[in-house]
A and B are shown apart, each in its own frame.
Chain A
Amino acid sequence: MDKKAIVYINQFFGQVGGEEAADHPPEIKEGAVGAAQALAAEFAGDITHTVICGDNFMSSNQEEATARILEMLEDIDFDIFFAGPAFQAGRYGNACGAIGKAVKEEFAVPVISSMNEENPGVEMFKKDIYIFPGGRSGAKMREDAKKMAEFGNEILTSEGPFPADEYGFYKRGIRHQYFRPDEKTAAERALDMLLKKMKGEEYTSELPIPEVDRVDIAPAIEDLSQVKVALVSSGGIVPVGNPDRIQSASATRWGKYNIAGMDRLENRASEGFKTIHAGFDPAAADEDPNRVVPVDALRKFEEEGRIGKLHDEFYVTVGTGTTVGEAARMGQEIAEDLKDAGVQAVILTST
């Protein structure tokens, strides 16, 4: 097969060094270096280059690392990009996902990775690149690399389609129509499914409804007068410069902003706070951000002794187009922060 591949691996699998070399800046070498050889053994084309980058360097300078790697690849002709396998290593998984996504967007080539299901990189990047389920550690290198390479061979030589259930990569929430090769009609499928369901036999729904992870409402707090209350919002209220660059839609970042000593949130015109939420008309929220994050009302309650104290920081992200997975992660992170700060109650405002 006359196709060219580039492989991304970390400092460890690139044989630069272990944790002591994790700050290793990105470099590119010709041929299949280190663990890339496991891919080379199964890939029917040519692995022309290997990119190696330290996990720390990538996680603490992601933008710079990505930019540098994209620049390295600019003048290279390649048909496919492999990242990993990353096993259960969280930072490595994140690196594979981040660089894989950037390469796919910049060069429009297929990107294939492999991660263990426990690797947070799976949830974060399975929508963006093909990720195959992998082992927990490098002991599974040969097996995991083989899956990646074989799918690479397939995707470069056949026209597809490539359904997740046939090829085995993590489902990505991307649903498209598919003509069944056996031409089994909807009427026949409905009948088969019904008969199985009535008999208590196993069947597969063609449209699985995602499990809703419902959280019970916490019991009411009888006396708020001694309680520290925090404001948390998905309404996108941020200081006018949006210092944490929280996205206006499909957010993956959240911020916390100090309001100690403020009677209210000043508005956009006064260079105070504004909304960056792309899911509603911002005019009213920009005019008075307290209507989304009601600092003014809570100060009043504080003054009246109805609550003990308003926490010195409010927490915010954007709730439009944000995936449930990302929202849950951000919620957990915010909750930990609130607990560390001794907050006992939260008012969560949406828009």
Chain B
Amino acid sequence: MKLELGNFPVKEIEFGEQTAYQDGTLTINKEEALSVVYEDDHIIDADLKIVEPGDEVRLVPVKEAIEPRYREGGGPVFPGVTGELMQAGEGQTKALKDMSVLVVGKHWGGFQDGLIDMAGEGAKYTYFSRLKNVVLVADTDEEFEKREQQKKNRALRWAGMRLSEYLGRAVKDLEPEEVQELELPPIADRICELEDLPGVVLVLQPQSQMEEDGYNDLSYGWDTNHMLPTLMHPNEVLDGAMISGSFMPCSSKWSTYDFQNFPLIRKLYEEHGETLNFLGVIMSNLNVSLEEKERSAQFVAQIASTLGAEGAIVAEEGYGNPDADYTACLVALEEAGIDTVGVSNEATGRDGTSQPLVAMDPKADALVSTGNVSELIELPPMETVIGELEALARDGLSGGWEDDEELGPSVREDGSIIMENNAMFCGDGVTGWSTKTMKEF
């Protein structure tokens, strides 16, 4: 499978007459862009903002991040989600780089939503403060979940994808500045040339623990709760086959942007043919019942063994209960004789003394740790808030609270905040971004 990713670096974003990309500047016709957002009647109020690294802006509640793209031939960027089902990972896709579309609730947030500071001390806690962002800030008529802590955020997330596809069409007829060829030939065809290099698989455990539809990560539009681990070509993940869900505490979450740019996949691609033979992605999931957890782990180990993998990297989207799936998978791979490395965050509590993972096993002897979900973070007020700051305290964001005997409310009158890392938008960078680790103090 071969994917040609045509990159269009975005150096500046501005509003203007016509939506177009020229010499690194993305110009957006705001009215036309908003009309795409309003195609869904459930969007009752919407606005667009532009934020850049260094802007004194706080965004909350942030629900999703997406890289704007255009699929050559006009097919959906997210097959099975924004359009008909088709094969992702093959052909040509154009991408607006160094930017994302961020989706922010105008008022209402929830457990799964997060916060981004574009400047100051808070900026270091999330990758998205480094990007130029087109911010869709909107409200919906989804009354059934307005006051629910768990929100599907369906209208807003889909509006974000439509907007991303709209912006992506700006480069439809343009030549990309750079084309990256991502190609892995069929496994059977590489036996001779790569026989000295160890075969390695990447095992992904996207979040799929909600039994009800509408919350979990989707694979070609299919709820990952309803699937068994399967082999995917890494190009599929990078090319829109996977979209983020709306469930996990936010620092643990993998946004759609993260799937599209997956640093672990990119790193394995770099090493392919040099130090290893990248066999592919085993797309697993995270489950509710013990038997489901064990079944998925068994399938992963079987697929990896059948492929002849000698090494595996496992990444978990979440913490707490899904640590059982994570550890079970690490153990199953080790027991199958495959050298395995895990990537996850930890939950050691505000004082740092809690057991890091819910389930631990001495066989999991090579782990990369990307942060502590419960770390307390205190940040000064920001000049501008996009969205509604009170949502952090009021709406049950996983890292916020209305009041606390010792710490007071998460949101203070002067606009300063105190929160757990839990609410940092995709802050723990388990997909591979994180420059954080954990240490003993």
Number of interface residues of B (CB under 8 A): 53
Binds B, one of A22-30, A192-200, A286-294, A341-349: A192-200
Q: Mark B363-405, 1 if CB is under 8 A from A, else 0.
A: 0111111111001000000000000000000000000000000
Of B341, B343, B361, B441, the residue contacting A209 (CB under 8 A) is B361
List of A residues within 8 angstroms of B348 by Cβ: 174-176
Contact B436 A171 (CB under 8 A): no
Given A164-B441, A174-B353, is A205 in contact with B432 using a C-beta cutoff of 8 Å?
no
Which residue from A175, A184, A188, A189 sits with its C-beta under 8 Å from B441?
Answer: A175
Question: Chain B residues with Cβ under 8 A from A165's Cβ?
Answer: 439-440
By size class, the interface of chain A is 35 or more
Q: What sequence of 0s and 1s flags, for each residue 196-230 of chain A, a beta carbon within 8 Å of any chain B beta carbon? A: 01100001011101111000000000000000000
Taking a contact as CB atoms under 8 Å apart, the answer to whether B339 and A163 are in contact is: no
Whether B441 lies near A177 (C-beta < 8 A) is: no
Judge whether B421 is part of the interface by a CB distance below 8 angstroms: yes
B438 touches A206 (CB 8 A): yes
A188 to B271, CA, bound (A): 10
B198, CB-defined interface residue at 8 Å: yes
Inter-chain contact A176/B341, CB cutoff 8 Å: no
CB atoms of A195 and B264 under 8 A apart: no
User: Is B372 a contact partner of A198 (Cβ separation < 8 A)?
Assistant: no
B430 within 8 A of A: yes
In the complex formed, the residue of A with least CB distance to B364 is: A209
Is A1 part of the contact surface with B, judged by Cβ < 8 Å?
Answer: no
Q: Are B353 and A186 in touch, CB under 8 angstroms? A: no
Q: How far is the CA of A179 from the CA of B124 in the complex (A)?
A: 9
Give the nearest-CB partner of A178 in chain B: B439
A185 and B432 contact, CB distance less than 8 A = yes
Query: Which of B340, B341, B351, B375 is in CB contact (< 8 Å) with A174?
Result: B351
Q: A54-93 CB contact bits vs B (8 Å, 1 = yes)?
A: 0000000000000000000000000000000000000000
Contact A173 B267, beta carbon cutoff 8 Å: no
Nearest to A182 among chain B residues (CB) is B435
Cross-chain contact of A183 among B346, B369, B371, B435 (Cβ < 8 A): B435
Known contacts A176-B348, A177-B375, A184-B435; is A193 also within 8 Å of B440 by CB? Answer: no
Q: Are B353 and A203 in contact (CB under 8 A)?
A: no
Q: Is B248 an interface residue (CB 8 A)?
A: no
- Please tell me if the beta carbons of B372 and A175 are within 8 angstroms of each other in the complex: yes
Closest to B262 in A: A187
Do residues B440 and A190 form an inter-chain contact, with CB atoms below 8 A? no
Q: CB distance B366 to A203 under 8 Å?
A: yes
Residue in contact with A198 in the complex, picked from B310, B364, B365, B371, CB distance below 8 Å: B310
- The CA-CA distance from A175 to B354 in the complex, in Å, is 8
Q: How far is the CA of A163 from the CA of B438 in the complex (A)?
A: 10
- Chain B's closest residue to A173 (CB) is B353
Q: How far is the CB of B193 from chain A (nearest CB, A)?
A: 19
**Given A203-B366, A207-B367, A185–B360 Cβ distance below 8 Å?**
no
B positions within 8 Å CB-CB of A: 124, 198, 200, 263-264, 266-268, 271, 275-276, 310-313, 339-341, 343, 346, 348, 351-353, 356-357, 360-362, 364-372, 375, 421, 429-441
29 sampled A-B residue pairs with Cβ under 8 A: A163-B441, A164-B441, A175-B352, A175-B440, A176-B352, A177-B371, A177-B421, A178-B437, A180-B437, A184-B435, A185-B429, A185-B432, A186-B343, A186-B370, A186-B432, A186-B435, A188-B267, A189-B368, A190-B368, A191-B271, A197-B311, A197-B341, A198-B311, A198-B339, A205-B367, A206-B438, A207-B357, A207-B368, A209-B360
Q: Which 4 A-B pairs have the closest CB atoms?
A: A187-B432, A187-B263, A163-B439, A207-B367
